[in-house]
A and B are shown apart, each in its own frame.
Chain A
Amino acid sequence: NAGVTQTPKFQVLKTGQSMTLQCAQDMNHEYMSWYRQDPGMGLRLIHYSVGAGITDQGEVPNGYNVSRSTTEDFPLRLLSAAPSQTSVYFCASGPNGEKLFFGSGTQLSVL
Protein backbone atom coordinates (compact mmCIF):
# COMPACT_ATOMS: atom_id res chain seq x y z
CA ASN A 1 0.00 0.00 0.00
CA ALA A 2 1.35 3.42 -0.97
CA GLY A 3 -0.99 5.20 1.46
CA VAL A 4 -1.26 8.94 0.80
CA THR A 5 1.07 10.20 -1.92
CA GLN A 6 1.83 13.88 -2.42
CA THR A 7 3.72 15.42 -5.30
CA PRO A 8 5.88 17.39 -5.65
CA LYS A 9 7.91 17.29 -2.42
CA PHE A 10 9.43 20.71 -3.04
CA GLN A 11 8.35 23.61 -5.23
CA VAL A 12 9.48 27.19 -5.77
CA LEU A 13 7.09 29.60 -7.46
CA LYS A 14 7.19 33.22 -8.42
CA THR A 15 4.41 35.53 -7.26
CA GLY A 16 1.43 35.25 -9.59
CA GLN A 17 2.23 31.80 -10.93
CA SER A 18 -0.30 29.00 -10.65
CA MET A 19 0.26 25.38 -9.80
CA THR A 20 -1.45 22.22 -8.60
CA LEU A 21 -0.38 20.13 -5.65
CA GLN A 22 -1.30 16.51 -6.22
CA CYS A 23 -2.66 14.12 -3.63
CA ALA A 24 -3.65 10.49 -4.19
CA GLN A 25 -4.68 7.73 -1.79
CA ASP A 26 -5.13 4.03 -2.45
CA MET A 27 -7.10 3.12 0.67
CA ASN A 28 -10.59 3.91 -0.70
CA HIS A 29 -11.08 6.58 1.96
CA GLU A 30 -14.17 8.75 1.75
CA TYR A 31 -12.62 11.75 3.49
CA MET A 32 -9.71 13.78 2.12
CA SER A 33 -8.37 17.13 3.22
CA TRP A 34 -5.60 19.68 2.80
CA TYR A 35 -3.78 21.40 5.66
CA ARG A 36 -1.03 23.96 5.75
CA GLN A 37 1.56 24.07 8.52
CA ASP A 38 3.24 27.33 9.45
CA PRO A 39 5.62 28.12 12.34
CA GLY A 40 3.67 29.58 15.22
CA MET A 41 0.32 28.90 13.53
CA GLY A 42 0.19 25.12 13.66
CA LEU A 43 -1.81 23.10 11.16
CA ARG A 44 -4.85 24.76 9.60
CA LEU A 45 -7.50 23.19 7.40
CA ILE A 46 -7.75 24.60 3.88
CA HIS A 47 -10.39 22.46 2.12
CA TYR A 48 -11.89 19.04 2.63
CA SER A 49 -14.06 16.49 0.85
CA VAL A 50 -16.33 13.77 2.24
CA GLY A 51 -16.66 11.96 -1.07
CA ALA A 52 -16.33 12.27 -4.83
CA GLY A 53 -18.07 15.39 -6.09
CA ILE A 54 -18.34 16.95 -2.61
CA THR A 55 -15.96 19.62 -1.32
CA ASP A 56 -16.15 22.28 1.36
CA GLN A 57 -14.06 25.07 2.82
CA GLY A 58 -11.98 24.84 5.94
CA GLU A 59 -10.47 27.58 8.06
CA VAL A 60 -8.19 29.19 5.46
CA PRO A 61 -9.61 28.56 1.95
CA ASN A 62 -8.83 31.89 0.25
CA GLY A 63 -6.48 31.59 -2.72
CA TYR A 64 -6.99 27.84 -3.09
CA ASN A 65 -9.33 25.67 -5.17
CA VAL A 66 -10.08 21.97 -4.95
CA SER A 67 -12.09 19.37 -6.81
CA ARG A 68 -12.83 15.70 -6.16
CA SER A 69 -13.71 13.88 -9.37
CA THR A 70 -12.57 10.47 -8.08
CA THR A 71 -12.31 8.80 -4.68
CA GLU A 72 -8.53 8.52 -5.06
CA ASP A 73 -7.47 12.05 -6.02
CA PHE A 74 -7.83 15.42 -4.35
CA PRO A 75 -5.68 18.11 -6.04
CA LEU A 76 -5.12 21.55 -4.52
CA ARG A 77 -4.80 24.44 -6.95
CA LEU A 78 -3.11 27.75 -6.26
CA LEU A 79 -4.58 30.19 -8.76
CA SER A 80 -2.14 33.09 -8.33
CA ALA A 81 0.59 32.33 -5.81
CA ALA A 82 1.42 34.89 -3.13
CA PRO A 83 4.34 34.99 -0.65
CA SER A 84 1.79 34.41 2.14
CA GLN A 85 1.20 30.94 0.69
CA THR A 86 4.76 29.89 1.47
CA SER A 87 4.18 26.91 3.75
CA VAL A 88 4.31 23.16 4.11
CA TYR A 89 1.16 21.54 2.72
CA PHE A 90 -0.18 18.22 3.91
CA CYS A 91 -2.86 16.06 2.40
CA ALA A 92 -4.72 13.64 4.67
CA SER A 93 -7.34 10.96 4.16
CA GLY A 94 -9.37 8.58 6.28
CA PRO A 95 -12.68 6.88 6.80
CA ASN A 96 -15.23 9.41 8.04
CA GLY A 97 -14.73 10.03 11.75
CA GLU A 98 -11.75 7.71 12.04
CA LYS A 99 -7.97 8.07 12.15
CA LEU A 100 -6.40 10.30 9.53
CA PHE A 101 -3.48 9.24 7.35
CA PHE A 102 -1.14 12.01 6.25
CA GLY A 103 1.10 12.35 3.25
CA SER A 104 4.75 13.38 3.61
CA GLY A 105 4.10 16.98 2.66
CA THR A 106 4.96 19.53 -0.03
CA GLN A 107 7.29 22.38 0.90
CA LEU A 108 6.26 25.41 -1.15
CA SER A 109 8.15 28.67 -1.41
CA VAL A 110 6.65 31.67 -3.21
CA LEU A 111 9.15 34.39 -4.08
Chain B
Amino acid sequence: KQEVTQIPAALSVPEGENLVLNCSFTDSAIYNLQWFRQDPGKGLTSLLLIQSSQREQTSGRLNASLDKSSGRSTLYIAASQPGDSATYLCADGNNNAGNMLTFGGGTRLMVKP
Protein backbone atom coordinates (compact mmCIF):
# COMPACT_ATOMS: atom_id res chain seq x y z
CA LYS B 1 0.00 0.00 0.00
CA GLN B 2 1.33 3.42 -0.94
CA GLU B 3 2.33 5.64 1.96
CA VAL B 4 3.06 9.35 1.67
CA THR B 5 4.97 11.17 4.39
CA GLN B 6 5.55 14.88 4.86
CA ILE B 7 8.28 16.31 7.05
CA PRO B 8 8.19 18.54 8.98
CA ALA B 9 4.62 18.49 10.28
CA ALA B 10 4.90 22.17 11.20
CA LEU B 11 7.25 24.97 10.26
CA SER B 12 7.56 28.59 11.39
CA VAL B 13 9.78 31.01 9.47
CA PRO B 14 10.29 34.77 9.30
CA GLU B 15 9.00 36.62 6.29
CA GLY B 16 11.36 36.66 3.31
CA GLU B 17 12.95 33.27 3.87
CA ASN B 18 13.23 30.69 1.14
CA LEU B 19 11.96 27.32 2.33
CA VAL B 20 11.60 23.71 1.26
CA LEU B 21 8.79 21.33 2.14
CA ASN B 22 9.46 17.61 1.77
CA CYS B 23 7.28 14.75 0.60
CA SER B 24 8.28 11.10 0.35
CA PHE B 25 6.38 8.13 -1.05
CA THR B 26 7.02 4.41 -0.78
CA ASP B 27 5.95 3.19 -4.23
CA SER B 28 7.81 4.84 -7.11
CA ALA B 29 5.24 3.63 -9.69
CA ILE B 30 3.23 6.81 -9.47
CA TYR B 31 1.29 8.45 -12.28
CA ASN B 32 1.67 12.02 -11.04
CA LEU B 33 2.29 14.08 -7.91
CA GLN B 34 0.30 17.09 -6.84
CA TRP B 35 0.90 19.80 -4.22
CA PHE B 36 -2.09 21.45 -2.55
CA ARG B 37 -2.66 24.35 -0.21
CA GLN B 38 -5.37 24.26 2.48
CA ASP B 39 -6.39 27.27 4.53
CA PRO B 40 -8.15 26.69 7.88
CA GLY B 41 -11.77 25.64 7.39
CA LYS B 42 -11.44 25.64 3.63
CA GLY B 43 -11.09 23.18 0.79
CA LEU B 44 -7.87 22.32 -1.01
CA THR B 45 -6.38 24.34 -3.85
CA SER B 46 -4.08 22.59 -6.31
CA LEU B 47 -0.79 24.47 -6.65
CA LEU B 48 1.32 22.32 -8.92
CA LEU B 49 1.00 18.96 -10.66
CA ILE B 50 4.02 17.01 -11.90
CA GLN B 51 3.43 14.14 -14.31
CA SER B 52 5.62 11.07 -13.76
CA SER B 53 7.62 11.88 -16.92
CA GLN B 54 8.48 15.37 -15.64
CA ARG B 55 11.13 16.49 -13.17
CA GLU B 56 9.70 19.80 -12.00
CA GLN B 57 6.98 22.41 -12.36
CA THR B 58 7.05 26.12 -11.54
CA SER B 59 4.36 28.68 -10.78
CA GLY B 60 5.41 32.11 -9.62
CA ARG B 61 7.39 31.76 -6.38
CA LEU B 62 6.65 28.04 -6.19
CA ASN B 63 8.77 25.25 -7.63
CA ALA B 64 8.02 21.56 -7.19
CA SER B 65 10.43 18.78 -8.09
CA LEU B 66 9.94 15.06 -8.45
CA ASP B 67 12.52 12.29 -8.10
CA LYS B 68 10.73 8.99 -8.64
CA SER B 69 13.82 6.86 -8.13
CA SER B 70 14.30 8.14 -4.60
CA GLY B 71 10.57 8.46 -3.88
CA ARG B 72 10.77 12.15 -3.08
CA SER B 73 9.22 15.46 -4.04
CA THR B 74 10.00 18.92 -2.73
CA LEU B 75 8.06 22.18 -2.80
CA TYR B 76 10.28 25.24 -2.81
CA ILE B 77 8.75 28.57 -1.79
CA ALA B 78 10.84 31.63 -2.56
CA ALA B 79 10.72 34.85 -0.56
CA SER B 80 7.98 33.65 1.78
CA GLN B 81 5.16 36.01 2.77
CA PRO B 82 2.63 35.97 5.65
CA GLY B 83 -0.04 35.15 3.06
CA ASP B 84 1.75 31.85 2.41
CA SER B 85 0.72 30.66 5.88
CA ALA B 86 -1.40 27.55 5.36
CA THR B 87 -1.15 23.76 5.37
CA TYR B 88 0.57 22.26 2.36
CA LEU B 89 -0.26 18.73 1.29
CA CYS B 90 1.30 16.49 -1.29
CA ALA B 91 -0.55 13.64 -2.94
CA ASP B 92 0.46 11.06 -5.48
CA GLY B 93 -1.81 9.73 -8.19
CA ASN B 94 -1.38 6.00 -8.22
CA ASN B 95 -3.72 4.46 -10.76
CA ASN B 96 -3.65 4.42 -14.54
CA ALA B 97 -5.35 7.80 -14.83
CA GLY B 98 -3.61 9.32 -11.82
CA ASN B 99 -6.92 10.14 -10.21
CA MET B 100 -6.76 8.05 -7.04
CA LEU B 101 -4.72 10.25 -4.73
CA THR B 102 -2.88 9.16 -1.61
CA PHE B 103 -2.27 12.18 0.60
CA GLY B 104 0.49 12.97 3.02
CA GLY B 105 -0.34 14.35 6.44
CA GLY B 106 0.62 17.90 5.47
CA THR B 107 3.04 20.56 6.66
CA ARG B 108 1.52 23.45 8.58
CA LEU B 109 3.45 26.59 7.61
CA MET B 110 3.45 29.87 9.48
CA VAL B 111 5.29 32.86 8.01
CA LYS B 112 5.80 35.58 10.59
CA PRO B 113 5.90 39.26 9.59
Spell out A's residues near B (CB within 8 Å): 4, 31, 33, 35, 40, 42-45, 48, 50, 58, 90, 92, 94, 96-105
Main secondary structure of the interface of A (DSSP, over half): strand
B104 x A42 contact (CB < 8 A): yes
For chains A and B in complex, what number of residue pairs have CB atoms within 8 angstroms? Answer: 60
- Nearest opposing residue in chain A for B103, CB measure: A43
A102 x B49 contact (CB < 8 A): no
Instruction: State the interface size on chain B (CB cutoff 8 A).
Output: 25
B43 x A48 contact (CB < 8 A): no
The listed residue (A92, A97, A104) touching B31 by CB distance below 8 A is A97
Given contacts A42-B104, A43-B103, contact A97 B98 (CB under 8 A): yes
| A2 → chain B closest CB, angstroms | 13
B105 x A102 contact (CB < 8 A): no
Measured CA separation A103–B43 after assembly (Å): 6
Q: Which of B19-53 contact A (CB under 8 A)?
A: 31-32, 34, 36, 41-46, 49, 51
Most chain A CB atoms below 10 A, which of B42, B44, B45, B104: B44
